[in-house]
Amino acid sequence: MKNITQEEWEAQIAKDDKAFILDVRTQNEVDEGIIPNSHHIDIYEGQGFIDKVNELDKSKHYYIYCRSGNRSGQAAQLMDQLGFETTYNLLGGYMEWDGETTFQE
């Protein structure tokens, strides 16, 4: 797991054809807006989170965020333990994100 800034996040995703953006916030937080192209799996689902994450392609590059960067850091570490090769944690999370946002469909 590597902690990255928003600037690094945007630059890397722009050239990463294996990028997968993962939002680990609660549904209420997601309802307030998301980073475009995000996939939502709530880390608070516990074993449900682990089960859903284990269904993902471990060779992709995971860009993970939450509200502040704490839960996403935990999620990235957990995913590393589960055998995921590349995980990035967004420093500051959605609270400090000043890029484009959208709403989940």
- Which residues are designated catalytic? 66
Q: Which residues contact 47 (CB under 8 A, 6 or more apart)?
A: none
Q: What type of residue is 75?
A: A
Q: In which element (H, E) is residue 76 found?
A: helix 70-81
Are 104 and 31 a contacting pair, CB within 8 Å?
Answer: yes
HSE-CB for 5 with a 13 A CA cutoff: 2
Rounded to 10 deg, the angle between the 47-54 and 70-81 helix axes is: 60
